[in-house]
A = this chain, B = another copy of it.
Amino acid sequence: MDKKLTAAILIIGNEILSGRTQDTNLNWIAKKLSDQGIRLVEARVVPDVEESIIFAVNELRKKVTYLFTTGGIGPTHDDITSVTIAKAFEVQIELNPTARNILLEYYKSESELTPARLRMAHIPVGASLIDNPVSGAPGFQIGNVYVMAGVPRIMQAMLDGILPGLGSDRPYLSNTVSCNLPESKIAEALENIQKKFKTVEIGSYPHFSVGSIGLSLVLRSTEEGSLHEATQEVVNMVRSFGVEPTSMTVCTK
């Protein structure tokens, strides 16, 4: 627990920034990391522009234990992630024989290995491959950077292969207490509970729907005992305003 495992995500793709596509990869990866006790400390979205990718990769990979990228490793002209990551690491990119064999197996014949498809077998020197059980073309790992596809199904399959090798801190446990009180009413009492429990993070998330106010109070900690005590105080605090919690979830990871 001395040295916490941390992570960042870099989402590469114009389609997210233009609003054409709603990203779901961030949330997927965030949950998986949280389950494993790896703390996601930042996420960024950048366009398919070389200098933007290089800047973000080099800034983020120094901040965290692991950097995950999604997007830009397909066969088309706008897929510039691999060559750009090579530049960020100041290494060459080369036709990787193993990656080429994987593509040959996937596309069945040499004649199908068009220049466009062979782009997907060009990997930075020194990188190791990340298995793609969905569509052949591998991702890769270089240094602490894991380069994955942007298509959610493929990214998810790649991530499943990566996660067991990353190690795990003691995972966060999380409890949620929901109630129908306005956030501003409980703010002071909640802050007092937060001050008392230094090892528990308490977040307050209001939600509005027509005619009603809802509030979820989320408590997170790696220490089960403190989490339990703080949660009990939150429940008592809610009751002190004359209402019962509307729901409660007690998670064990």
Contact = CB atoms under 8 A, between A and B. Distances in A.
Interface of A: 14-24, 26-34, 40-48, 52, 74-79, 107, 114-117, 119-120, 134-135, 151, 153-154, 172, 174, 183-188, 190-191, 194, 201-208, 218, 220
A123 to B, nearest CB: 16
17 contacts: A15-B203, A15-B205, A17-B30, A18-B220, A19-B32, A19-B40, A20-B174, A22-B27, A23-B23, A23-B27, A43-B44, A48-B203, A74-B184, A74-B204, A77-B194, A77-B204, A154-B208
A19 B15 contact: no
B17 A41 contact: yes
A245 to B, nearest CB: 17
A17 B26 CA distance: 8
Contacts of A46: 41-42
Contacts of A187: 74-77, 114, 116-117, 119
Nearest to A120: B184
Tell me the number of copies of this protein: 2
Contact of A19 (B18, B30, B117, B186): B30
Most chain B CB within 10 A, of A44, A78, A117, A185, is at A78
A185 B20 CA distance: 24
A198 to B, nearest CB: 13
Nearest to A20: B218
A218 B15 contact: yes
B43 A52 contact: no
A195 to B, nearest CB: 8
